[in-house]
Copies of this chain bind each other. A is one copy, B any other.
Amino acid sequence: MAAPSPHPFDPLRPDEIARAAGIVRPHFGGQEPNFRVITLLEPPKKLMIAYLENEHQNQPIEDVPTRHARVEVVVKGRANENQLFELYVDLGNEKVTQKQHVKGKHSYIDANHMKAVEAACLADEGVQAELRSLNLPAGATPVVEPWAYATDGMNDMSTRITMCWFYLRLLDHPDANYYAYPLDVCAEVSEDLKVTKIYRLPTNPQERIHHEKRPFDRRRIHPADASEYHPELRPASRTTTKPYQVVQPEGPSFRINGNQLAWEKWSFRVGFNYREGLTLHDVRYEGRSLFYRLSLAEMFVPYGDPRAPYPRKAAFDLGNDGAGLNANNLQLGCDCLGTIKYFDAYHNTPTGEPLKMPNVVCCHEQDDGILWKHTNFRTGNAVVARSRILVLQTIITVSNYEYIFAWHFYQDASIFYEVRATGILSTAPHDINAKERVPYGTVVAPGVLAPYHQHLFSLRIDPAIDGHNNSLVIEESTPLPTNDPKVHNPFGVGYVTESRTVEEEGGFDLDFTKNRTFKLVNEKQINPITGTPVGFKLLPFYSQMLLASPESYHARRSEYAQHAVWVTRYTDNDHFPAGKYTMQSAGGDGLASVIAKRRATGVAQSVRDEDIVIWHTFGSTHNPRIEDWPVMPSEKLMVGLKPVNFFSGNPGLDVTPSTQEKNQSVLYTGESAQSATCCQSKL
């Protein structure tokens, strides 16, 4: 049986990946390219608008976009240098439509290269000598953690440099937490796998340069239960948590057809790519268009320790590492609870073969407490509807850290995007004798500093609120003046909302003190009852923007981290708020630069009643607590999108009121019943 044709939004299928590689391969003069990326080149929106209109009206689709791939390869140049090429491949017509030698940029982190760096570093005689000078405990194993080099202006960035941080696996167990023993050795490894520098790290707030060669301080060795998370290395776990199971006797409420998902009144398509991971397309409620595309577009994790070489710790976890590539293989009964649908994804091997990534997304329902309730106090009659939500979750591991990303769909037509940060802090060595408190880190174990850092996310929201031409409205709640004779406010209690519609591309800040609200509206669609444009509002996550100086490389590389809300004109394949190539980037490719460049052309980029994109920057200034050690309890960040005068009433009003017959709760009559008949005792 033939597989059904892919939908234009579907990720490339394995056969398409292989086909793309086959089409690209002959374009490099017999050299076998290192295939870094073979991913869907998403179809032009112009074509898709017509496509989706026909699709949803069950009309024949005349102009089905041809499947295209975007391919990144690295090949060797004449001087054996790495050359990065980006190619667009027309899979239908089996041809390369665009081939660009991308100069001065690097593709994302190459795991094979990193492994080679690690091996080369450990094998280096200088490194070995340095490690010997540490006089490490017998049986302990040094571990090299290679990091992409965050630009600090101290090196030529035209070739890749890898920072090698050293840790110690003190216990002889493959899952021993080596982050508990950061060593004060550092090495730098070149593109051609040469160790170019070896030095000692500062371990004291006073130390501004690499310090002298001290041996490993045995007083740092501490009990396993303070730093280990793996159950085999820990005392017995608590047994007080009794089993809790979710039973869905009639199965889940969702329906799935390939990558299309329908649940309650929602429908959308699930996408996935190596970089953003989970993406959502053509999000509709009751068939009405809401969002063309939703995705996490970037994440930047700069560290705040000013001492060299720590300013080189600043990771673009999407641009450099890839949320898709690093997605976990989710396990039944562990990562989700209830009835679970898993989605697989495909990436490519360096030789261009499809590579299956199983269970990268899980989909399930959750009970979310009460959706709405009212008790008529005159009759005592209560009506209560419980809230069911649909969750699409993906979890990524980026070296030490984990991020849990989940889209939550609600029956009241709202969407929430939840980020949970967990995993292990990236640690640095700290002088156990230091008397002075480190002002940019927390000591979480003897000799272990957890440096302050930020997590800055960019959520890309491509709205299609009842159509593709939308506007961004900024509304504030403002007291009426009390001393203006033209304004009626005799008791001083009146307040109004004041709105302005954003006319040009730009970045904006949050202000809860004014109840500042960002609305995505369709100015051409007026709600017949409220008399106002239909819209959705952003429920932002309030967080500090980038702390690094605007002149710093951190700031120049992560322009989106200047403001919380950005609006730009839509252009195809524009998914990169910090630039397409973030690896060792020098900056100037981000949202602010793109907007400034467009503005400089003299062509005003109107964003009013146009096809626009909203980018929400949010995150956390993560000054670690010791409670984040050795594995962080999930730190939750939540962003929402809610209808605002879009419908004609509560979209969840028709949810069936809750009954015990369906919900089968159990009345607890345990110790409580006993306690009335026996003497009070201490628990």
Known: A377-B397, A477-B452. A244 touches B531 (CB 8 A): no
Complex contacts, A22 vs chain B, CB 8 Å: none
Contacting residue for A258 out of B208, B257, B680, CB 8 A: B680
Give 3 nearest A-B pairs by CB, closest first: A306-B494, A333-B660, A492-B549
B-contacting residues, A236-265, CB 8 Å: 237-253, 255-258, 260, 262, 264-265
Instruction: Determine whether the beta carbon of A512 is less than 8 Å from that of B543.
Output: yes
Find the residue from A267, A384, A651 having the highest chain B CB count within 10 A. A384
Contacting residue for A382 out of B331, B342, B632, B650, CB 8 A: B331
Contacting residue for A241 out of B243, B655, B665, B679, CB 8 A: B655
Q: Does A633 contact B (CB under 8 A)?
A: yes
Complex contacts, A653 vs chain B, CB 8 Å: 229, 234, 630-631
Instruction: Determine whether the beta carbon of A662 is less than 8 Å from that of B627.
Output: no
A346 CB to closest chain B CB (Å) equals 14
Complex contacts, A412 vs chain B, CB 8 Å: 627, 633
CA A386 to CA B634, docked complex, whole Å: 10
Instruction: Determine whether the beta carbon of B627 is less than 8 Å from that of A477.
Output: no
Q: Does A369 contact B (CB under 8 A)?
A: yes
Instruction: Determine whether the beta carbon of A252 is less than 8 Å from that of B245.
Output: no
Q: Does A139 contact B (CB under 8 A)?
A: no
Instruction: Determine whether the beta carbon of A230 is less than 8 Å from that of B402.
Output: no
Known: A5-B680, A665-B339, A680-B7. A644 touches B659 (CB 8 A): no
* CB nearest to A153 among chain B residues: B491
Q: Does A495 contact B (CB under 8 A)?
A: yes
A367 CB to closest chain B CB (Å) equals 5
Complex contacts, A625 vs chain B, CB 8 Å: 642-645
CA A556 to CA B91, docked complex, whole Å: 70
B-contacting residues, A552-608, CB 8 Å: 552-555
Q: Does A379 contact B (CB under 8 A)?
A: yes
Looking at A102-110, A213-221, A439-447, A464-472, the stretch in contact with chain B turns out to be A439-447
Looking at A23-31, A34-42, A70-78, A307-315, the stretch in contact with chain B turns out to be A307-315
Instruction: Determine whether the beta carbon of B675 is less than 8 Å from that of A175.
Output: no
Q: Does A413 contact B (CB under 8 A)?
A: yes
Complex contacts, A442 vs chain B, CB 8 Å: 530, 532, 645
Instruction: Determine whether the beta carbon of A675 is less than 8 Å from that of B529.
Output: no
Instruction: Determine whether the beta carbon of B668 is less than 8 Å from that of A440.
Output: no
Pick 19 A–B contacts, CB within 8 A, sort by A: A4-B680, A175-B381, A226-B648, A241-B655, A246-B246, A246-B665, A307-B488, A333-B658, A333-B660, A334-B663, A339-B667, A369-B404, A442-B532, A443-B530, A444-B530, A493-B552, A630-B649, A630-B650, A633-B651
Instruction: Determine whether the beta carbon of A264 is less than 8 Å from that of B241.
Output: yes
Q: Does A383 contact B (CB under 8 A)?
A: yes
Known: A5-B680, A665-B337. A650 touches B628 (CB 8 A): yes
Q: Does A542 contact B (CB under 8 A)?
A: yes
Instruction: Determine whether the beta carbon of A496 is less than 8 Å from that of B245.
Output: no
Complex contacts, A249 vs chain B, CB 8 Å: 243, 245
- Bitwise interface map of A from 478 to 495 toward B, beta carbon under 8 Å scored 1, else 0: 111010000011111111
Q: Does A661 contact B (CB under 8 A)?
A: yes
CA A255 to CA B678, docked complex, whole Å: 15
Known: A381-B230, A493-B314. A334 touches B658 (CB 8 A): yes
Instruction: Determine whether the beta carbon of B255 is less than 8 Å from that of A682.
Output: no
Complex contacts, A514 vs chain B, CB 8 Å: 544
Instruction: Determine whether the beta carbon of A341 is less than 8 Å from that of B627.
Output: no
Known: A252-B242, A657-B237. A493 touches B1 (CB 8 A): no
CA A376 to CA B177, docked complex, whole Å: 9
CA A667 to CA B248, docked complex, whole Å: 12
CA A260 to CA B683, docked complex, whole Å: 8
* CB nearest to A404 among chain B residues: B370
A301 CB to closest chain B CB (Å) equals 12
Complex contacts, A234 vs chain B, CB 8 Å: 653-654
* CB nearest to A238 among chain B residues: B654
Q: Does A551 contact B (CB under 8 A)?
A: yes
List 17 additional contacts besides A208-B488, A383-B631, A479-B549; criterion CB under 8 Å.
A237-B656, A243-B249, A244-B248, A245-B249, A306-B491, A328-B375, A333-B663, A333-B664, A335-B384, A340-B668, A341-B670, A371-B633, A374-B397, A443-B531, A477-B547, A479-B548, A627-B642
Known: A242-B252, A397-B377, A554-B493. A627 touches B645 (CB 8 A): yes
Instruction: Determine whether the beta carbon of A267 is less than 8 Å from that of B683.
Output: yes
Complex contacts, A250 vs chain B, CB 8 Å: 242-243
CA A24 to CA B665, docked complex, whole Å: 43
Known: A174-B381, A231-B657, A513-B544. A243 touches B248 (CB 8 A): yes
A639 CB to closest chain B CB (Å) equals 13
CA A625 to CA B364, docked complex, whole Å: 29
* CB nearest to A512 among chain B residues: B542
Q: Does A394 contact B (CB under 8 A)?
A: no
Instruction: Determine whether the beta carbon of A378 is less than 8 Å from that of B174.
Output: yes
Q: Does A58 contact B (CB under 8 A)?
A: yes
Complex contacts, A235 vs chain B, CB 8 Å: 654
Known: A306-B489, A482-B549. A532 touches B245 (CB 8 A): no
CA A446 to CA B410, docked complex, whole Å: 27
CA A491 to CA B260, docked complex, whole Å: 48
* CB nearest to A414 among chain B residues: B633
Known: A495-B452, A652-B633. A338 touches B657 (CB 8 A): no
Instruction: Determine whether the beta carbon of A660 is less than 8 Å from that of B334.
Output: yes
Looking at A120-128, A129-137, A272-280, A420-428, the stretch in contact with chain B turns out to be A420-428
Contacting residue for A677 out of B1, B302, B307, B366, CB 8 A: B1
Instruction: Determine whether the beta carbon of A152 is less than 8 Å from that of B314.
Output: no
Complex contacts, A338 vs chain B, CB 8 Å: 244, 665-666
Known: A494-B304, A679-B4. A647 touches B666 (CB 8 A): no
CA A662 to CA B414, docked complex, whole Å: 32
Instruction: Determine whether the beta carbon of B253 is less than 8 Å from that of A248.
Output: no
CA A260 to CA B671, docked complex, whole Å: 11
A633 CB to closest chain B CB (Å) equals 3
CA A455 to CA B239, docked complex, whole Å: 42
Q: Does A196 contact B (CB under 8 A)?
A: no
